[in-house]
Structure 1
Amino acid sequence: MATEPTFEALFRSAQHSACHLEMRDAYGLDDDYQEWTAGNRFDPAERWPWWIDLVSASVARGVTVRRARIVSEPISSYVRYEHELTSGHNVKAGEAVRWLPRRQASSLALPGNDFWLFDGTTALFNHFAGDGTMTGEELVTDPAVVELCASAFAAVWERATPHEEYKPV
């Protein structure tokens, strides 16, 4: 019985691209978020060096890493936390990040779940409970589903504002 590759294995095996579409206004409200809401700021590169290493190594070997976030405005406290940490975490690692206000996404065909898309051939859906805790992942290689993810990501990316220019409302 073959086991499915882990997220990290999928990321490390990407040859050309790794794209992530996030569509929730909050995720699991973990200790890092709780610390941030209490006013304790921290360096995300020190907190999550494994991410910096994973993305940096991928970018160094020619993989384009992009993340698009669809967000409601005014933004939630969690999205404010994400926005504040993006430069020192995602961008520092080598990701290109863009933000799309949800009202600008109404005419887009979007999958029902957040996903990672690797090399335009494999989608890894992230499943969450109502409170934002991750409940599992689903690896999909069906060409029709992968194409939906690819076209959705491309449409969001085209409309979205680069992180450096996005001013949260």
Structure 2
Amino acid sequence: MPQKSVPGFTELITGCQGTAVHLEMRDNYAVSAEAEDFREWRRNGRIGPGSLSRRRPWLDLVRETVGRGVVMRRARIVSEPVTEYIRYEHAGTHLNVAAGEQVRWLPRRLTNDLVLPGNDLWLFDNRLIRFGHFTGDGASAGHELCDDPVVVKQCATAFEAIWARATPHEIFTV
């Protein structure tokens, strides 16, 4: 059941002590905070200084979180051929990796035998899930928290199966 008030991501990650895993399963996102970066990437074909500056708060948060011993992992399930948006994400992922986040990619065609959650998620310390909801066109439609042990276990199991099968960012090509 959706909750009316969900703490912000920074508050959740600050309380995290051991692991934070992120599962992304959409081929397009239309999150307003990325709009300028995406336009810049489309114009220039690369992640430029402006984008780096706008990403600084996230990259600093990753460095701080990893620096206090939290393992941050992100798995992305993508359709192939990849969308323009996924090419944009791939072009900037080296910044996340340099900040300490581990990132892997899994082509959707390799997930047929996996049981996947219905929504993107962050799982903190294998105890709390923050589901991300999106509209059909990829805009954020809010978040929902879940600490149901059965759901947490299902999502943790799904993430680990994806992670084991996925390709590290450093060798995944788009």
- TM-score, normalised on structure 1? 0.93
Matches within 5 A, 1:90-129: 90-129=96-135
Runs of 4+ in structure 1 off by over 6 angstroms are none
Contact 2:6/2:144 (8 A) holds in 1: no
- Find the counterpart in structure 1 of residue 53 from structure 2: 46
Q: CA deviation at 1:31?
A: 2.2
Kindly state the Cα deviation for residue 52 of structure 1 after the two structures are TM-superposed.
Answer: 1.0
Query: Which one of 136, 146, 152 corresponds to residue 158 of structure 2?
Result: 152
Q: Tell me the matched-pair count.
A: 166
Percent identity among equivalent residues? Answer: 52
Deviation, structure 1 residue 47:
2.0
* Deviation for aligned residue 1:133: 0.4
Matching of residues 19-38 of structure 1 within 5 Å: 19-28=21-30, 30-38=35-43
Deviations along 1:36-74, whole A, 9 cap, x unmatched? Answer: 112264144322111111111111110000000000011
Give the Å deviation of 1:3. 5.4
Going by fraction, where is helix more abundant, 1 or 2? 2
Q: Which runs of 5+ in 2 are unaligned?
A: none
What corresponds to 2:19 in structure 1?
17
For residues 109 and 118 of structure 2, the distance between their equivalents in structure 1, rounded to whole angstroms, comes to 17
What RMSD in Å do the two structures reach over aligned CA positions? 1.5
- What whole-Å deviation, never above 9, does each CA across 1:68-110 have from its counterpart, x for those lacking one? 000001110000000010002x112210000000000111111
CA distance in 2, matches of 1:53, 1:25: 26
Structure 1 distance, partners of 2:59, 2:162, is: 24
Partner of 2:79: 72
SS at match of 1:36: helix
SS in 2 for 1:68: strand
